[in-house]
Amino acid sequence: MADILQMRCTVCGTTYHLHETQYTCLRCGEAGTLDILYDYAALRSTLDRETFNVNREASMWRYRALLPLKDGDEVPPLRVGWTPLLNSPRLAADLGVNTAWVKDDGLNPTASLKDRASSMVVARALQQEITTVSTASTGNAAAALAGVGASVQSRKMEIIIFVPATAPEAKIAQLLVYGAKVVLVEDSYDVAFDLCYALCQSEGWYCRNTGINPFTTEGKKTVAYEIAEQLNWQVPDVVIVSVGDGSIIGGVHKGFWELHQLGWIERIPRLIGVQAEGSSALVSAWEQGISGADMQPAPANTIADSISAGLPRDRVKALRAVRETNGAFLAVSDEHIVSSIPRLAQLTGVFAEPAASAVYAGAQRAVQLNLIQPDEQVVLLVTGNGLKDVKRAQQSVSGGVRVSPDLDAARKALQAYPTV
């Protein structure tokens, strides 16, 4: 177990012991999200990178020594993490870079990276013997919490979900299948977020909300550990991440930062955050030099529901991740996002939902802007599977031919079939 040294506010730097605050800084409020920090000198002296992965399980819990869990602590049984990192030479050639990998986190149990955060939060709830956990989500975090909560065998865990009523039907169905109590809010994600948090506070539920709960970062950081380990601790030049609330890119940054503290990697990759043009508050803040604490709500309207956020809740960590790594934020259009779904799939075999396919659109844009050089190595972090939003996938493609059940008819149709 990595013993928690302190929790530190990302805005004012105030430090807390674990029992002093459950969610955010008592001075800065919601903007003051917390970093969970460990005794890295002690970890460096007791952990050896070369023998670390010997006999480790193929899941995020292989990094238990770097997480706030004791050996005997219960964790949810679903196998989350250790997703494949795919070397994609055709993608590299298409983008015009030296090497490109795709980290396919859509292969997690509920089909998104959010399983990592939910597993960590549920493990934390089990530590505290909490039986009701709630979250607000555009869909993926909710599905992750519902699925992970349902998998717990030692006790019945009640999961209460708040989602915008406009969430994709497939995502809502997934919540109901897992047996969660689902509240469809006739308003935006940001409104659902505030409603959920208020009820958690008044009813005593444990809140998984992104940013609010610092343990979400502890789950998400494991994807950076995996990227580094799967590349034999030789990290890429750039990691591209789609961004809504900012928690994933903040978690990726913390994971690489911690490995650097341990001396396991020589440098931290540049992080490029990709937002939809219709929900690009962090792009604007980065371009204008605005701090996360000073950001104000902005319009959020995009078909990529998983990265739609008017006021990103982990905005301070997200901006820090990009600024401290000399990275960038950039925005891409909904049209580019949709067209990226089949393009990414045809180049790599990875089927991504709109928010996840945005990393391909972002990679193209970053190369055009010379934010990525031709001799560099790049990882595209795909955060969610395309089956999450089949309707958008259907809109991204056309084709297919009808033929009579005749050999000659089939041959003629295939001869005339357009080349992709």
Three-class DSSP category at 394: helix
Q: How far is CA 152 from the centre of its chain?
A: 22
Half-sphere exposure of 289 (CA within 13 A, CB side): 0
Q: How far is CA 383 from the centre of its chain?
A: 5
Q: Could you give the CA distance from residue 321 to residue 311 in angstroms, rounded to a whole number?
A: 17
Per the CB < 8 A criterion, the answer to whether 412 and 260 are in contact is no
Task: Please give the chain's pLDDT, 420 residues, in tens.
Answer: 678 999 999 999 999 999 999 999 999 999 999 999 999 999 999 999 987 776 789 999 999 999 998 888 999 999 999 999 999 999 999 999 999 999 999 999 999 999 999 999 999 999 999 999 999 988 789 999 999 999 999 989 999 999 999 888 888 899 999 999 999 999 988 899 999 999 999 999 999 998 899 999 999 999 999 999 999 999 999 999 999 999 999 999 999 999 999 999 999 999 999 999 999 999 999 999 999 999 999 999 999 989 999 999 999 999 999 999 999 999 999 999 999 999 999 999 999 999 999 999 999 999 999 999 999 999 999 999 999 888 888 889 888 889 999 999 999 999 988 876
Three-class DSSP category at 255: helix
Quick one: tokens of 250? 């903040």
What is the DSSP pairing of strand 34-38 with strand 238-242? unpaired
Q: Residues, the chain, total?
A: 420
φ, ψ of residue 51 to 5 degrees: the values are: -110, 0
Per the CB < 8 A criterion, the answer to whether 340 and 357 are in contact is yes
Per the CB < 8 A criterion, the answer to whether 119 and 152 are in contact is no
Per the CB < 8 A criterion, the answer to whether 34 and 24 are in contact is yes
Q: Could you give the CA distance from residue 161 to residue 182 in angstroms, rounded to a whole number?
A: 5
Domain 85-109+216-395: state its class.
alpha beta
φ, ψ of residue 158 to 5 degrees: the values are: -90, 130
- 334-348 helix and 354-368 helix, angle to the nearest 10 degrees: 90
Q: Could you give the CA distance from residue 202 to residue 257 in angstroms, rounded to a whole number?
A: 36
User: Any idea where the domains of the chain sit in the sequence?
Assistant: 85-109+216-395
Partners of 238 in the β-ladder: 270, 378
